[in-house]
């Protein structure tokens, strides 16, 4: 089967030609001095992308590896943990935390809402024994976000460590690990950075390291071990296992492009793409999945699938008839997501997803205002160019 | 720093242009139908490379992930396990097994020898309670191999499951999972397949699945879980987490090239390269690390570093002065390894490593018979062409 | 400056990832046996794409080289030649013919029309001394075509040789060199084949060779010589000069993809893309440049620029504000062309060009029915999918 | 058939991964503003590589196009021209000059020698009517060079224009167009620059332009026209025809790497590679083709084929048995050339060619001192590293 003409999904997203060339560059031995330099350069660049001076760990597996590793490293059996739940990934973190023995407490909202930072403050005031707060910055499956710029400082004020899933936000939404006072952050390269999947980009604060090092349950001598990376690689110039040489080149190239563009510019680009996409969705007569535009993520636009249709059928139709690959909700609900991440948060890309979705819904019998929707999206793009 | 002119290391090895192009091909969403096809095709091809009809699992992290996952999945606390140790990786497996609660027994030989299959048979006869045997087929750090064509059937005869580390042998040395009656096998794509690191290629027999499924300690809901892959992906068409799209393309291309060449031809190619390399080493007046040529692996040639020199200094000199990257012994001893894996097991590649090593030793004050060594290696290559 | 997000121009067109990988594959010596095989395979594949058994010549420069070479090779001073002119390239051929000494006669129509085959028949009946007819199949700058399926047989019936500029038609429009009885045909790889510029794909009939060989003015010992290629390469396995190794790999890959898809399927794909684009243009309230839809080429859609605007300003706006690169008319008039060639004749690509153009015209003060236009184009695509 | 393991030929030479990635980067429309920038940047970089402030013309065909175009542009019928002949390319230039109507005079030496600059001075003193001198800097087929650092100033002193074939010298041998006072220079990217074939890199002095512009025989409105490029592209921002987009990217990348390394460093690298190769040839008991080491080119080492053998048979054997592609003499004699150009003028690459050649000659019955030859070459490399 042919590849799609357009990948406008929720990540892995389409990578730039430059990133692909880096992925296809020669594979060297992982202790080749040129590769050692590249690995260290990449760590430094990830730190700049995270806006942090904390230690950077590049775990060599998809972001789920980093999330599991971080949770296992931080959680002691019996540790009181507050988990914020506003979607599938927040919910999943709770299952892990419980499985790792945490004394789990959750603030949960429906999957089309975000957690209120005030509620977090109140909870932590009432539960001063809490040691760790876990939160998903961008809940990719439902296209919403939790405001970590407020939640981070609240947690710090209460002396609570934070574990932040910023997998799909970094590079496309405002993110500032240090000024937001976040302890452990995990991003994926295959989202707004436009890189390959296969790596966990992580930052770990000194406070977090203290907790991890004193945790007898923290993985050691394991693919899941953060401590191995700290001790063997940062302490001893020795990789715990063979790193993914090609992926490192891809991630470095992705960071280079982002830093050359500038973080602010990249974020504005994602926000404009998202705003255009939302404008089109609404004008087309469709419903945005998130309850309010205030909590929509800039990386994907989640659209409720009209009654009587299933997102799988819609997406298959879009892919088969119009060559565009969109995402579903991964369990968050009957929704379709148009990704605008990395290279696809450029130009008219979001409108491509919009018109393919609109025309497909029309094909499937839904009354959509296709033309006006496309016009509204383009008008929004035109405005952002004028600005 | 410039990349080396030649990567003749112990893996990751240099990949072919075709494999690199596949690695740099467009990244699609992991549920794109074209990618789903590619993933399933790759599983089938890995099965052919392993010569097995067992279920294939492609775990999305370097082979160490697969090894840890397999060991954790199989080992119950208190389970009597026989671990064969003839090198660094065998030794490491023992630490894991013990950590996972096994009742560990080991047959250990010096790291320049191989385990005698007769000793295995005798041990299993004397210890019928043994449930699992773990063995490293090719001990890459020391350039030796254990004869799994004999060990596999012995274990099966005793009703013992086998966990085989064939990370660096598959594709370059005879390997036949089914006729050798091996239960769980883990290979790395970055060795004789000439692919990217970042993936564990695994086969699991029905007997092994039974043991894993009945093991309450087997990882579940984890990056380390084999069961997740079986249940979610093979049972439900759902990936446990985002697979490494680029690496899958690279691994498929590497398998394609191997299968087009033919497994027998590829193995003969590796054996000729290794034989030429060994002939040159000996004629140069250097000492092969393995005690006997009968147990030398076809993927790397391990050379003892002459007294008074350290392998790090030798390798740095080779890299800096002659642009060739070789490997050390990763703890197996004071040795240097010339890799001849995948694309570098072709033509005069092994002699390139040999002459760069020889000239560097001469630079560092060792008396080597450089010219005669090169002549001997080339003569061996000439013979293999005539044959 | 960043590359455009979308290249929807009149060629060079965007190439597929597979073609780009072939272009970036290792460069070998041009007499390497693997390259010699690749060169000959590519000739054979070009022949299949042309649907001809005539000799194939791959001249190593952009199609203009092939056109000039063919004209110089065929034209004797004083030779009576009929040149059909319906656009910029037809006109240019006339200047060449005259410059090379031909006794030039032209049938010329305005650049938004096509030459009537009946007029050709009549001319040749009245001028039996004519020896050569030159015609442009697809007049890319104005988006029209001349019907060579009729003109070819007419010329053959009158004993007149044909020199056919099929640069932008081959691979995207019906083209059948042998059944259309065409003598010398020149195509470019950078149009509907989606390959790199830099090569002239040519077929030459035996009758044409006879004329060329007996022409003392035909270039010899020159970069412009067809005879050098025939005598040295086809006669003696010796290239007249170093061929473009990378381009050959790119052209072979482009032909492979076309032949795997099937010529009919590829042509239908281009026709559907063009039909959708035209439907959108008309519904948007814009004017197609060609006088009648019957003579529109399938590779580009030429749109008249509304009064008061200049195509340069329009195209700059489209490129700068919406990231889409369109083409102008190269002297044919005040028009903008949306290319749908090779990979861009897929899915919703043509609509991307259409909406970027429409929105830009709106930005520049033109009243366009943007939404209805996009709707009409998508409706046409939907119809072609249903069929 | 598989590609060779090593391309150590006389050009096209193996390109670096970075250059190949550039060749495989997306194809844009040739009037895309990003491409226009790239084209102009490439012109400027070629000027720096030539060390000239003269106008740079990038003709879009292999260097033979540039040579023919330059000769046709400069030569008026009856113009007295001195052509220096020391090899195949010098001889070929004479045929062209004569064909274009020059009053041709030649200073010719055997193809294993170089023309004496003193003889040139003497000739020009005796023939003050001479208007043009043509010379090949590096006679690639025979591995020799003519000293243009002396010949250029002699010609200028006599008021004679120079046309210099520096196809294979630029980037690997000292070359200084301005201080050597050279008027028209033509280089190929596929030699010491390690780029793709398919382009003529040219510089043209103001004096040369004057001669060309006043020459009624200079090509106009032709693929062969230098004037078209000057007037249309430099005068009017309009390409005479579609440039080779991919090749431009490849040539720019090749120039970037050369300029980042530094011209002096690159030249020293080529000289060391050549010196090592020559040392090995001699010690092996073979004969260098050039009569004296003083006139050996740094880009290839030409080796006389021992009596009784033919270079074709030798090279086929080397390619088939040892995976190395070498070049023949292209008519200069019974010789084999080991290329060390661009990326292959690094590390032990030249010794790879040497040992494959030596072993093949041994296979074919020649007595060669293979080991000592390899030792001598490596010793020379070791010396150059120490320096």
Instruction: Name the nearest CA neighbour of A256 among A14, A8, A16, A12.
Output: A16
Name every chain C residue with its beta carbon within 8 A of the beta carbon of B25: 17-18, 21
- In this structure, the dihedral spanned by the alpha carbons of residues A68, A69, A75 and A76, taken in order and rounded to 10 degrees, is 120
Contact A144, A89 (CB under 8 A): no
Contact A305, A333 (CB under 8 A): no
Token pair belonging to D98:
């004569």
Question: Is the pLDDT assigned to residue C56 strictly greater than 70?
Answer: yes
Spell out which chain C residues touch chain B, with contact meaning CB-CB distance below 8 angstroms: 17-18, 21, 24-26
Token pair belonging to A71:
């949770």
The pLDDT tens digits of the residues spanning B301-332 come to: 999 999 999 999 999 999 999 999 999 999 99
Subunit contact B21:C26, Cβ cutoff 8 A = no
Contact A171, A342 (CB under 8 A): yes
**In what helix (H) or strand (E) does residue B57 lie, and over which residues does it extend?**
strand B55-59
Contact B301, B287 (CB under 8 A): no
> Which subunits count as partners of chain C given 3+ CB pairs below 8 Å?
A, B, D
Burial (CB count <10 Å: 0-12, 13-18, 19+), residue C387: exposed
The number of C-alpha atoms within 13 Å of B229 and in the hemisphere containing its C-beta is 28
Name every chain C residue with its beta carbon within 8 A of the beta carbon of A381: 321-322, 359
Q: Which residues pair with D3 in a beta bridge?
A: none
Rounded to whole angstroms, how far apart are CA atoms A198 and A65?
9
**DSSP alpha helix (H) spans, chain D:** 17-23, 33-50, 63-74, 88-99, 117-126, 148-157, 206-213, 226-228, 235-236, 245-261, 263-283, 311-322, 349-363, 370-386
The pLDDT confidence band at residue B385, using thresholds 50, 70 and 90, is: confident
C-alpha distances in Å from residue A340, one per residue of A267, A335, A350: 11, 16, 6
Report pLDDT for D342. Answer: 97
Percentage of residues of chain C with pLDDT beyond 90: 99
C-beta neighbour count of A176 within 10 angstroms: 15
Question: CA of B15, closest CA in chain A: separation in Å?
Answer: 6
Match 């087309």 to its residue by tokens. A284
The pLDDT confidence band at residue D300, using thresholds 50, 70 and 90, is: very high
Report pLDDT for C51. Answer: 98
Subunit contact B3:A198, Cβ cutoff 8 A = no
Name every chain D residue with its beta carbon within 8 A of the beta carbon of C1: 33-34, 37
Distance of CA B231 to the CA centre of its chain: 27
Q: Once rounded to an integer, what is the mean pLDDT over residues C249-273?
A: 98
Mutate to test the interface with D, among C27, C94, C336 (most CBs of D within 10 A): C27
Rounded to whole angstroms, how far apart are CA atoms C164 and C115?
14
Nearest to D371 among B346, B356, B371 (CB): B371
Give strand ranges (E) for C64-151: 80-85, 103-108, 132-136, 138-139, 144-145
Percentage of residues of chain D with pLDDT beyond 70: 99
Nearest to B375 among D346, D349, D370 (CB): D370
Question: Is the pLDDT assigned to residue C106 strictly greater than 90?
Answer: yes
Rounded to whole angstroms, how far apart are CA atoms C285 and C372?
9
Subunit contact D25:A25, Cβ cutoff 8 A = no
Report pLDDT for B302. Answer: 98
The pLDDT tens digits of the residues spanning C216-244 come to: 999 999 999 999 999 999 999 999 999 99
C-beta neighbour count of A235 within 10 angstroms: 11
Report pLDDT for D1. Answer: 87
Distance of CA C381 to the CA centre of its chain: 24
Peptide bond into C12 cis (omega under 30): yes
Report pLDDT for A387. Answer: 56
**DSSP alpha helix (H) spans, A178-310:** 206-213, 226-228, 235-236, 245-261, 263-283
Q: Once rounded to an integer, what is the mean pLDDT over residues B242-246?
A: 98
Question: CA of D203, closest CA in chain B: separation in Å?
Answer: 31
Q: Which residues pair with D80 in a beta bridge?
A: D103
Token pair belonging to D102:
């020059």
Give 3-state DSSP helix, strand, coil % of chain C, rounded to 5. 45, 15, 40
Contact D237, D229 (CB under 8 A): no
The pLDDT confidence band at residue D380, using thresholds 50, 70 and 90, is: very high
Q: Once rounded to an integer, what is the mean pLDDT over residues C165-191?
A: 98
Using DSSP, state whether C210 is helix, strand or coil.
Answer: helix
Nearest to A241 among B30, B62, B242 (CB): B62
Subunit contact B10:A29, Cβ cutoff 8 A = yes
Q: Which residue of chain B is at minimal alpha-carbon distance from A312?
A: B31
Instruction: Name the nearest CA neighbour of B193 among B229, B232, B247.
Output: B247
The pLDDT tens digits of the residues spanning A68-121 come to: 999 999 999 999 999 999 999 999 999 999 999 999 999 999 999 999 999 999
The pLDDT confidence band at residue B1, using thresholds 50, 70 and 90, is: confident
Contact B270, B345 (CB under 8 A): yes
Question: Is the pLDDT assigned to residue C385 strictly greater than 80?
Answer: no
C-alpha distances in Å from residue C31, one per residue of C199, C254, D1, D11, D339: 19, 22, 13, 10, 14
Subunit contact D223:C34, Cβ cutoff 8 A = no
Instruction: Name the nearest CA neighbour of C366 among C287, C292, C279.
Output: C287
Residues 6+ apart with CB under 8 A from D319: C32, C33, D4, D325, D326
Angle B39-B40-B44 (CA atoms, 0-180°, nearest 5)? Answer: 120
> Which subunits count as partners of chain B given 3+ CB pairs below 8 Å?
A, C, D
Instruction: Name the nearest CA neighbour of C3 among C19, C14, C18.
Output: C14
Mutate to test the interface with D, among C16, C23, C337 (most CBs of D within 10 A): C23
Mutate to test the interface with D, among A14, A15, A18, A21 (most CBs of D within 10 A): A21
**In what helix (H) or strand (E) does residue C235 lie, and over which residues does it extend?**
helix C235-236
Rounded to whole angstroms, how far apart are CA atoms C278 and C289?
10
Residues 6+ apart with CB under 8 A from A206: A54
Contact D223, D136 (CB under 8 A): no
Question: Is the pLDDT assigned to residue D387 strictly greater than 70?
Answer: no
Report pLDDT for A386. Answer: 65
- Ranges under pLDDT 50 in chain A: none
Token pair belonging to B127:
């210890």
Subunit contact C21:B25, Cβ cutoff 8 A = yes
Contact D351, D381 (CB under 8 A): yes
Rounded to whole angstroms, how far apart are CA atoms D69 and D224?
5
Burial D16-53 (b: 16+ CB within 10 A, else e): bbbbbbbbbbbbbbbbbbbbeebbeebbebbbebbbbe
Burial (CB count <10 Å: 0-12, 13-18, 19+), residue C294: exposed
């Amino acid at each position: 089967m042919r590849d799609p003409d357009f990948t406008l999904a929720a990540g892995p997203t389409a990578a730039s030609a430059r990133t692909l060339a880096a992925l296809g560059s020669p594979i060297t031995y992982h202790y080749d001095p040129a590769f050692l330099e590249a690995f260290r350069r990449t760590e430094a660049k990830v730190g700049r992308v995270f806006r942090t001076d904390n230690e950077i760990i590049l775990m060599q597996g998809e972001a789920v590896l980093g999330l599991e590793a971080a949770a296992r490293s931080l959680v002691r059996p019996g540790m009181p943990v507050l988990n914020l739940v506003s979607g599938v990934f927040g919910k999943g973190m709770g299952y892990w935390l419980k499985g790792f023995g945490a004394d789990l407490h959750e603030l949960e909202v429906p999957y089309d809402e975000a957690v209120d930072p005030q509620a977090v403050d109140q909870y932590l005031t009432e539960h001063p024994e809490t040691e760790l707060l876990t939160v998903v910055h961008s809940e990719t499956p439902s296209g919403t976000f939790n405001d970590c710029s407020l939640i981070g400082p609240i947690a710090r004020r209460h002396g609570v460590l934070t574990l932040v899933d910023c997998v799909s936000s970094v590079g496309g939404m405002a993110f500032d690990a240090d000024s937001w006072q976040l302890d452990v952050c995990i991003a994926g390269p295959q989202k707004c950075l436009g890189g390959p999947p296969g790596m966990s980009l992580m930052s770990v604060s000194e406070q977090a390291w203290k907790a991890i090092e004193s945790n007898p349950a923290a993985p050691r001598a394991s693919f899941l071990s953060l401590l191995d990376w700290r001790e063997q690689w940062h302490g001893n110039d020795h990789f715990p296992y063979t790193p993914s040489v090609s992926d490192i080149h891809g991630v470095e190239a992705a960071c280079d492009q982002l830093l050359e563009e500038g973080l602010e510019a990249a974020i504005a680009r994602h926000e404009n793409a998202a705003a255009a996409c939302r404008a089109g969705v609404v004008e087309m007569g469709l419903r945005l999945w998130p309850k309010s535009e205030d909590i929509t993520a800039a990386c994907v636009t989640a659209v409720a699938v009209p009654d009587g249709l299933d997102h799988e059928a819609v997406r298959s139709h879009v892919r088969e008839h119009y060559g565009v690959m969109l995402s579903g909700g991964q369990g968050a609900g009957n929704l379709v997501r148009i990704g605008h991440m990395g290279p696809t948060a450029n130009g008219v890309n979001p409108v491509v997803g919009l018109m393919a979705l609109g025309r497909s819904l029309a094909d499937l019998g839904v009354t959509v205002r296709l033309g006006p929707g496309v016009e509204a999206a383009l008008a929004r793009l035109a405005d952002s160019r004028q600005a």
